[in-house]
Structure 1
Amino acid sequence: MAGANVFRLNASHGTQADHALTYERVRRVSAALGRPLGVLLDLQGPKLRIGTFASGSITLAAEAPFCFDLDPSPGDERRVCLPHPEIFSALQPGDQLLVDDGRMAFIATEVGPGSIRVRALRSGTLSDRKGVNVPSRALSLSALSGKDRRDLQFGLDLGVDWIALSFVQRVQDVIEARELVQQRCLLMAKIEKPGALQEIEAIIAAADGIMVARGDLGVEMPMEQVPSVQKQLVRLARSAGKPVVIATQMLESMIGSPCPTRAEASDVATAVYDGADAVMLSAETASGRYPVEAVRAMDGIVRHTESDSLRQPLMQAIGKDGESTTTDVLGSALRRVSELLPLSATVAYTASGATAMRMAQQRPRSPVLCLTPSTTVAQRLTMVWGIHPHADTAMAGDTRTVERATRLLHEQALAEPGKAMVLVCGTPFGLPGSTNQLHVVWPSF
């Protein structure tokens, strides 16, 4: 009730049994509330990590020499295992190695087939199993590890709505995952490697949506570049009609504080002004002390920003009319209607969800009530901007569409006296790709 629409199961933490329990809780809450909630399974991806130390950790001074090698024995102040041969074959002298989210940085001085000699760029501590980033090189790693494949199958069997693919580097990573997923859920590409930007338009085309994962992205590339990359990714996703999620450290202080900082509030608002479909909380709700308060705070920031009169001109400035299809033509018409008429809502009838997504791409001034005969489609659409999905297995023909839509608008507190609603649908009804009608209706209240 605090405002969450989608729940993430993070495969990097916990067990499959833990995630199955959480999944069932979400579905039970969804049934109790009478509205769909989405579930996203976030795969761990090929996370690179160092080995262990005999003492658990070591301290290095700036400029100290050190060595990463393939020896699995515990490390010390001179060396530690880096069990990833792909790094040894890709790295060149002068390249950087970042450890523990960049808290420790090294520059390679000598690279051999089984060892990488480095120099510490700053003083700090190294401890067991910390993550490694190689920002300057694209590694020949599949985006799906053995664990990812097992977790992916688990998620598909469970019935999750979205799979998030971590550390995507190239469009082939998405294609590989698509072959396993097929049409059983939607696929989200997490953009957290600079290499992905080289093929970003192809990646967006191959995926069903993208996530701007700013944590690893901010480690792998200069931090000052992340805001502009975020804006570019949002624009590209919007142009393609694909949902885009902004993630990582959005309300980070609320892990331990009941209130966000002003800078965090501005960060969330900026994502809304940019045109993102969703903003995501991570540790704030997974392990923080104030999970409900964090959701309420984010929901409040989003709602206030959405109501700002400045937001709509910004949305239109970065929008796109779409392709030469009937659905996109109707979407453009909807945008114009919403500018000229006082609308309470747009009602989109859709079998596959595509119509609702194309309507949302135009960012109309009014919310989009999506009616679909499929519970699965309704759950998937919870990720998309402005959509209030409703699974209606009893949807009828034209003689009842206005009556049904009016009733649901009242139930979801979207109806407003003196305002029209727009119906977007197609005939023959229920056939994917048949959207061909836009009706402006002034319902009686």
Structure 2
Amino acid sequence: MTPKVNRRTKIVATIGPGSESEDMIARLIAAGVNVFRLNFSHGTSEQHAEVARRIRKQSAIAGRYVGILADLQGPKIRISTFRDDAIELAAGDSFRLDLTLAEGEGDSRGVGLDYRELCSSVSRGDTLLLDDGRIRLRVDEVEASAVNCTVLIGGKLSSRKGINRLGGGLAAPALTTKDMADIDSLTEVRPDFVAVSFVSSEEDIFQTRELLQKHGMDPGIIAKIERAEVVADGDVLNGIILASLGVMVARGDLGVEVGDAQLIGIQKELIARARKMDRVVITATQMMESMIDSSMPTRAEVFDVANAVLDGTDAVMLSAETAVGKYPVEVVAAMADAALGAERQAVARTSHYRLDRQFSSPQETIAMSAIYAANHYSDVRGIACLTESGNTPLLMSRLSSGLPIFGLSSKAETLQKLCLCRGVIPLYFDASVFDHDEVDAQAIEFLKDGGYLQRGDAILLTKGTVMGRSGSTNIIKILPVQ
């Protein structure tokens, strides 16, 4: 029997009207989804709880660990509404952002908005970006309660579109009243991950974790990097990364604020920085946007996914493609193919990272030694990691390798969080039911029965002297598969 070919890069798929049925969730899991995203910008708490139940049910039927990511809406700054829902703006037109205008009073001359700090946050000459940058305004004059602008790039502008400032600076607290209410409702969802939008400091992460823990929840927190001022300040960015389980390169709002040309380098830097700090990273937004309406991706989209994989991202994310698109299963399959294609490249399977660095713990020493040994001994077909907390396989996954890392644990919460770690296959294995001397052989037999290994292979195994204790990994072995 030929061992299974395992994709290392994880796929996050957003649930929406086009993918929320049990049948579609089952098909998406079969196509390769590792984590489902529940977008709390839409839907009710009851709807999200029901979808979460469907995901848990279908992942159990499939016999796979599939994570749930609850993505909080955050303080998206939006304009108010127009009398006729939409207007047309042309370059050279005057347009006024007026805090005194009520809902439904907007027209081609101006519109209201809900951001009371606008007049203190912008200056003459600033560029304001509406509808993800499709409309551009130049600030000409700032009054006490309004900002007068000239349209630089026009087009159709409809109600409730977002507004950003080129270079960032329109900052509101990361957790809104709605977000706090949504956190209260998560007891019915029990997500494995919670994404915090428009994070501005590590304090946003600490506040979110405190609110979750009050409800007895401890999901991994993902910081969405969307603000230009955050990526411009290395100390602030490092604090956010260290406070979180990982980060999301949220290319939509971030790209609007910094500009697409700058976003290229920022994406690469964020991925590299997160991996160096032992955190996971998701690359998101418009990765296969054309497949909302097309059954095949463009070549540029395939290259976009592949480049993120080669940069070292843990996961790539689909948004509207699976939430409202016509081809949710096909887009997941296309993304999986693109990731596998990139992973076959030599640069994705080797790493010189940390060869000149001192290790900080026995766990890290074992994890780094295991990957180095596996990458340099051709008989090794994978790494079996007996883990309680999941930290050792996470550390292993920070280094590039072509080999699977089998995260073997009896703790469901550990296995669920490993769903996001690149190259890690979470598998339920209860080492406590075996005598200490039998564990190694039983782990090998378990992986062989699962089709991951075959006779004649070698497996690299890590574990702790004291089984069942978190943080005790201190043993590494190379074992033959009999």
Task: Say whether the fold is shared (TM-score over 0.5).
Answer: yes
Q: Does 2:367 correspond to 1:336?
A: no
Total equivalences in the alignment: 443
Q: Give the structure 1 partner of residue 474 of structure 2.
A: 436
Structure 2 residue 202 is matched with structure 1 residue 134: no
Is 1:76 paired with 2:107? yes
2:258 corresponds, among 214, 221, 231, to: 221
Q: Structure 2: how far apart are the matches of 1:46 and 1:201?
A: 22
Where 1:45 maps in the other structure, the secondary structure is: coil
CA deviation string 1:282-309 (max 9, x = no partner): 1111111110011111111112221222
- Deviations 1:95-153 (Å, cap 9, x if unpaired)? 12111111111111111221111111122122111111123343442100011111122
Given the superposition, is the C-alpha separation of residues 335 and 92 from structure 1 closer, same or farther in structure 2, using an over 3 Å criterion? same
Q: Which residue of 1 aligns with 2:225?
A: 191
Question: Which residue type is aligned with residue 50 of structure 1?
Answer: I
Preserved CA contact (<8 Å) 1:174 1:207? yes
Displacement of 1:417 in angstroms is 3.3
Stretch of structure 1 that moved more, 333-342 or 102-111? 333-342
Residue 51, structure 1, aligned to residue 87, structure 2: no
Please say if 1:306 is aligned against 2:375.
Answer: no
Secondary structure of 2:175's partner? coil
Give 1:350's aligned residue: 387
Q: CA offset at residue 394 of structure 1?
A: 5.4
Inter-partner Cα distance in structure 1 for 2:394 and 2:341: 23
Please tell me whether the aligned partners of residues 89 and 154 of structure 2 are also in contact (alpha carbons under 8 angstroms): yes
| AA partner of residue 113 (structure 1) | A
Structure 2: segments with no counterpart, 5+ residues: 1-29
Residues 1:112 and 1:434: Cα distance change in structure 2 (over 3 Å): same
Shift of 1:217: 1.2
Deviates more, 1:405-414 or 1:417-426: 405-414
SS at match of 1:428: coil
Secondary structure of the residue aligned to 1:83 is coil
Distance in 2, Cα, partners of 1:160 & 1:185: 6
Shift of 1:92: 1.2
Partner of 2:46: 17
Return the TM-score normalized by structure 1: 0.95
Question: CA offsets, 1:45-68, max 9 Å, x none?
Answer: 101111111121111221111111
1:316 aligns with 2:362: no
The worse-fitting range, judged by mean Cα deviation, of 383-392 and 167-176 is 167-176
1:238, 1:319 within 8 Å by CA — same for their partners in 2? no
How far the C-alpha of 1:320 sits from its partner, in A, is 8.0
CA RMSD in angstroms, aligned pairs only: 1.7
Gaps of 5+ in 1: none
Q: Say whether 1:159 aligns with 2:190.
A: yes
Q: For residues 78 and 112 of structure 1, do their structure 2 counterparts lie closer, same or farther at Cα, with a shift above 3 Å needed?
A: same
> Does the residue aligned with 1:431 lie in a helix, a strand or coil?
coil
Give 3-state SS (helix, strand or coil) of 2:137's partner: strand
Of 27, 38, 42, 2:67 maps to 38
**Structure 1 Cα separation of the partners of residues 385 and 358 of structure 2:** 18
State the Cα distance separating 1:422 from its structure 2 match: 1.0
Deviates more, 1:337-346 or 1:46-55: 337-346
Distance 1:178 1:320 in 2: 35
Question: Which secondary structure does the structure 2 equivalent of 1:361 belong to?
Answer: coil
Q: 2:348–2:401: 8 Å Cα contact kept in structure 1?
A: no
Q: 1:224 to 1:20 in 2, by over 3 A?
A: same
Q: After TM superposition, give the deviation of residue 408 of structure 1 in Å.
A: 2.7
Q: Distance in 1 between matches of 2:356 and 2:102?
A: 53
In the alignment, is residue 272 of structure 1 matched against residue 303 of structure 2? Answer: no
Give the secondary-structure state (helix, strand or coil) at the position aligned to 1:50.
coil
Deviation at 1:409, TM superposition (A): 1.5
Alignment of 1:165-204 (within 5 A): 165-182=196-213, 184-197=218-231, 198=233, 199-204=236-241
Cα separation, 2, equivalents of 1:276 and 1:431: 30
Identity of paired residues, percent?
38
TM-score, structure 2 normalization: 0.88
Distance of 2:481 and 2:405 partners within structure 1: 16
Which of 353, 366, 387 is matched with 2:403 structurally?
366
Please tell me whether residue 113 in structure 1 is matched to residue 144 in structure 2: yes
Q: Separation in 2 of the partners of 1:312 and 1:24?
A: 37
1:214 is displaced (CA, Å) by 0.7
Distance, in Å, in 2 between the alignment partners of 1:242 and 1:109 is 43
Contact 2:98 2:112 in 1 (8 A): yes
Deviation at 1:413, TM superposition (A): 2.4
What secondary structure is seen at the aligned counterpart in 2 of 1:4? coil
**Deviation (angstroms), 1:407:** 2.8
Q: 1 or 2 for the larger relative contact order (CA 8 Å, sep ≥6)?
A: 2
Match of 1:212 in 2: 249
Residue number in structure 2 paired with 1:245: 282
Contact 1:175 1:206 in 2 (8 A): yes
Whichever residue aligns with residue 273 of structure 2, its letter is L
Moved over 4 A (4+): 317-322
- Tell me, in whole angstroms, the C-alpha distance in 2 between the residues paired with 1:404 and 1:94: 68
> Is 2:31 the counterpart of 1:2?
yes
Asked if structure 2 preserves the Cα contact closer than 8 Å seen for 1:51 and 1:128, the reply is yes
- Quote the residue 2:362 is aligned against: 326
Counterpart AA for 1:331: A
Pick aligned residue for 1:398 from 436, 439, 442 = 436
Q: Which amino acid aligns with 1:224?
A: A
Distance 1:321 1:32, change over 3 A: farther
